[in-house]
Amino acid sequence: MSASTYESVSAASKDMYARARAVLPGGNSRTAVFSSPYPIYAASGSGSRVVDLDGTSRIDFLNNSTTLVHGHAHPEIVAAVSEAAARGTCFGLPTESEVLFAEALCSRNDSFEQARFTSSGTEAVMMAVQASRAHTGKAKIAKIAGAYHGAYDSVAVNNDGSGSLLSHSHTAGMPAEVIANTVVIPFNEPEEAVKILREHVAELACVLVDPVPWRIGLAPMSTEYIAALRAFCDETGVLLVSDEVGSFRIGYGGAMGALGGVADLTVMGKVIGGGMPIGAVAGKAEVMSVFDPSKGKPKLPHSGSYNANPVSMSAGVASLRLLTQEQMKRIGELGEQVRDTMTKTIEANDLDWQVNGLESLFRVLTGTVPGSGASSAQLGHLLFQALLENGVLIGDSGLGCVSTPMIQADIDEFGAAFDSAVTATIDRARAQG
């Protein structure tokens, strides 16, 4: 895309970004929402639509990186948030809302005997890792090469989507001992993964997995892989921790259950909070007892001024109530349609691109364009911008999802926009050489 085309649809965002740069580093508080040359600023959202500062309305398939499973400003969630806020946003006392939300969450999966809340997925991953260490008395964790689990040091290791098995970090200044304590295993290679895990078993607290890891392509863990990790954990007492911050929406009781596995601890975020800041860990009462302060100092003291705040808890109760089996099936079918329509366009254009995902999640992996030297990431960015011009928002990693307010017309609109955007992407990639 030429810069002028992008600028022609985003003049107000350009001005806002100039202001932002003066007071925020690079104009930004969240790396993921930066987009070169400047991001489009949101003004409001309603249902399946987001409106930017220039007043342009688009179908939102990004949904805040797959958080907003009920779209923007769902009336029942707005009511729950408003009512909770009117009663007081946070207290130095527990509230009933925390109990209600834990009951709602635990009723969805037999392995969720107890739950505990934070204000983000990052904190929830941190809590699960610390709980695993407290429970086992061991320091190391294992994670899948390239997979993303948020900003906590121990998991910000080998999280760049690459298949490399090296323990490395892109976070400048990361202590070497943190990196050394994070073991990296290959994705969907059961024998090799278990071989590596066995080498570290004496020091290993947990195996942290995302059953549908988006950063390495959004393909699900295979049945064999899940079974091999479960068997290793059963044999050794190492905990299997399923990070479903992004993938919980794959099944009514989460992704691991939908894929036929059982985790010891499950980390959640995003969809369970209805758009409010949220994180949760649920699992076996025996493991969760590391937090129990009722019998003296717990093994793992864990606080947070906003943990289980009633606004997030109430939004969460409403979000889970709305996330019925029927709705999940419906958005899963629409997701299938989205993947099919993209695949057809890609095939019609003879491209080597790939579409992954399942249920309501999708990711398009831009490969190459014959006659252009553009990298996959550059093509992803061109596609993202061309989709914006055509009235659709997805992530510039190609990540997207269907939300419950979406209807068939949204999916049809997406199909037409994707078709035009792919043509524009090919033309622009070739024009750039």
- Which residues form the interface with ligand PLP (CB under 6 A)? 65, 120-122, 125, 148-150, 210, 243, 245-246, 269
Q: What are the backbone angles phi and psi of residue 171, rounded to the nearest 5°?
A: -90, 110
Q: At what angle do helices 408-432 and 376-389 cross, to 10 degrees?
A: 130
Q: What are the backbone angles phi and psi of residue 321, rounded to the nearest 5°?
A: -60, -40
| Least CB distance to ligand PLP at residue 152 (A) | 9
Cα–chain-centroid distance for residue 401? 11
Query: Which residue, 399 or 424, has its beta carbon nearer to ligand PLP?
Result: 399
Using CA atoms, how far residue 214 sits from 103, 258, 290, 361, in Å, is 29, 17, 30, 9
| Least CB distance to ligand PLP at residue 120 (A) | 4
8 A C-beta contact, residue 333 and residue 404: no
Query: Which residue, 60 or 243, has its beta carbon nearer to ligand PLP?
Result: 243
Query: Which residue, 339 or 363, has its beta carbon nearer to ligand PLP?
Result: 363
Q: 114 has which bridge partners?
A: 283
Instruction: Report the alpha-carbon distance of residue 256 to residue 210 in Å, rounded.
Output: 8
Instruction: Report the alpha-carbon distance of residue 225 to residue 209 in Å, rounded.
Output: 11
Instruction: Report the alpha-carbon distance of residue 47 to residue 49 in Å, rounded.
Output: 6
**Backbone dihedral region for residue 161 (phi beyond 0: left; psi -120 to 50: alpha; all else: beta):** left
Query: Which residue, 277 or 298, has its beta carbon nearer to ligand PLP?
Result: 277
3-state secondary structure (DSSP) of residue 287: helix
Which residue lies nearest ligand PLP, judged by its C-beta? 121
8 A C-beta contact, residue 338 and residue 414: yes
| Least CB distance to ligand PLP at residue 275 (A) | 12
Query: Which residue, 58 or 143, has its beta carbon nearer to ligand PLP?
Result: 143
Query: Which residue, 69 or 125, has its beta carbon nearer to ligand PLP?
Result: 125
Count of beta carbons in the 10 Å neighbourhood of residue 4: 7
Using CA atoms, how far residue 178 sits from 154, 173, 194, 215, in Å, is 6, 11, 22, 21
| Least CB distance to ligand PLP at residue 122 (A) | 3
Instruction: Report the alpha-carbon distance of residue 305 to residue 118 in Å, rounded.
Output: 9
Q: At what angle do helices 96-106 and 310-322 cross, to 10 degrees?
A: 30
| Least CB distance to ligand PLP at residue 361 (A) | 11
Strands (E), 13-162: 42-46, 49-52, 57-60, 114-118, 140-144
Query: Which residue, 66 or 341, has its beta carbon nearer to ligand PLP?
Result: 66
Amino acid (one-letter) located at 280: A
Query: Which residue, 143 or 381, has its beta carbon nearer to ligand PLP?
Result: 143
| Least CB distance to ligand PLP at residue 389 (A) | 26
Query: Which residue, 184 or 411, has its beta carbon nearer to ligand PLP?
Result: 184
8 A C-beta contact, residue 262 and residue 242: no
Instruction: Report the alpha-carbon distance of residue 214 to residue 157 in Å, rounded.
Output: 16
| Least CB distance to ligand PLP at residue 430 (A) | 33
What are the structure tokens assigned to 429, written together?
A: 């990639």
| Least CB distance to ligand PLP at residue 243 (A) | 5
| Least CB distance to ligand PLP at residue 250 (A) | 12
Query: Which residue, 149 or 339, has its beta carbon nearer to ligand PLP?
Result: 149
Query: Which residue, 70 or 428, has its beta carbon nearer to ligand PLP?
Result: 70
Positive or negative CA dihedral for 29, 33, 35, 39? negative
| Least CB distance to ligand PLP at residue 65 (A) | 5
| Least CB distance to ligand PLP at residue 362 (A) | 15
